Amino acid sequence: MGKCKKGERHGDMPIPKDWNVLKIEKGIVLEACKLKCFTYDVLKNATQKFNCQNLIGRGGFGDVYKGYLTYSTMDAARSNEGFPIAVKIIRRQGAQGDETWLNEVTYLSKINHSNVVKLIGFCYEDEHRMLVFEYMTGGSLADHLLEEESDSKLNWTRRIKIAVGIARGLDYLHTYGRPLIHRDIKSSNVLLDDNFNAKISDFGLARYGPEGSLTHVSTRVVGTRGYFAPEYITRGHLTPKADVYSFGVVLLEILSGYDAVRKHSEGAMGDLAQWAKPFLRNKVELPYVIDKSLGNNVSIKAVSEFSEIVLSCLCCSPKKRPTMAEVVVSLEKLEQNLEHHNQRLHGSI
């Protein structure tokens, strides 16, 4: 297939002959024309030949390397001369790798939101499938919450800020144009900057939701254990409410500092949501699910209000779960109350 020339954009690149294998329309491909088309050599040089010291993440679909590009021409640069990027190399597993790569290009080329990671460009050259993203300096939410050696200072105020950011991003996906369901919302797919602004990443499993009179989309179950909505894992029924459930699990991780799948005292693995629900419903037992690193720096009243939002998202019936727009309102109210409390606290010192 033809290779991208330096500076060439997708709109100028001939559509590869094997696109039809992926069952897409030419018009969809051309939606990505605003993205930069990178050559393999540029990304190889930008990451110092994909040096293991630049490896910043590993996932089910590929590895992510840190690299640098020049500001003016977006060619490979040294770290002291350019801006940082994240290069995701998609593992090609038959058509699956191509579909994953194409999903991210198709959806992220159309999305412009402060709480969704920005896709800068891509590489489609010979057997190479890569994606180039803005570099998120704060790593993932999972890094801060779940890594034993993490020195993160995620106080309650920052955790609420992160929750609000994720909720706003999901609300945008569900309501801007045709509903887009992420299908893999989890703490490792939430990236942070230095100011703890959250951005949703990894759209490899995303797909459009039901429209018109359709109540759901029937599909095979994909995603990550511990985050699956009941109706999705048992019947394959997919709606935006499946993302709401997954978000509820992320909220629970934010509250507890535990992984979505945790080991019980007897050694068996179980879902965090099922373990935590009884504690969330009982104010006396609520302290059992509060991250110990928070200490006494969060009130039971604030946690109780947060827990109500968590429980609503984790409702077994999708119809009874709130929309992400409703969740945004609830979390923003919680954030405002927290800001007022902190202002009064500092004012009294």
pLDDT tens by residue, 286-319? 999 999 999 888 999 999 999 999 999 999 999 9
Has 88 been labeled as part of a binding site? yes
Task: Check the annotation: does 193 bind a ligand.
Answer: no
By C-alpha distance, which of 333, 317, 290 is closest to 167?
333
- For residue 56, what is the DSSP state? E
According to the annotation, is 320 in a ligand binding site?
no
For the segment 108-128, the average pLDDT, to the nearest whole number, is 94
pLDDT at position 166, please? 99
Say whether 166 sits in a helix, a strand or coil: helix
Region class of 162: left (phi > 0), else alpha (psi between -120 and 50), else beta = alpha
Arithmetic mean of pLDDT, 209-229: 86
∠ Cα 136 99 4 (to 5°): 70
* Range with the poorest average pLDDT among 57-66, 111-120, 262-271: 262-271
Gyration radius of the chain's alpha carbons: 21
In the structure, what pLDDT confidence band is assigned to residue 111 with cuts at 50, 70 and 90?
very high
**Nearest residue to 88 (alpha-carbon basis) of 122, 114, 136:** 122
Q: What dihedral angle (degrees, nearest 10) is formed by the CA atoms of 201, 335, 307, 187?
A: 20
- Beta strands 198-200 and 190-192, pairing class: antiparallel
CB atoms within 10 A of CB 136: 21
Q: Which residues pair with 159 in a beta bridge?
A: none
Query: What pLDDT is stored for residue 131 in this prediction?
Result: 96
Q: What is the enclosing helix (H) or strand (E) of 123?
A: strand 119-125
Instruction: Please report the pLDDT score of residue 345 as a whole number.
Output: 66
Give residue-wise pLDDT tens across range 62-73.
899 999 999 999
pLDDT(257) > 50 = yes
DSSP 8-state code for residue 99: H
Q: What is the pLDDT of residue 25?
A: 43
Model confidence at 92, pLDDT cuts 50, 70, 90, reads: confident
Give the residue numbers annotated as catalytic, written as ranges. Answer: 184
Closest CA to 86 of 56, 53, 108: 56
Beta strand pairing call for 62-69 and 83-90: antiparallel
Neighbours of 275 (CB within 10 A): 17
Question: What is the average pLDDT across 110-131?
Answer: 94
In which band, very low, low, confident or very high, does the pLDDT at 93 lie, cut at 50, 70 and 90? Answer: low
Residue 151 — very low, low, confident or very high, per pLDDT cuts 50/70/90? low
The region of weakest confidence among 92-101, 119-128, 204-213, 299-308 is 92-101
Half-sphere exposure for 198 (CA within 13 Å, toward CB): 26
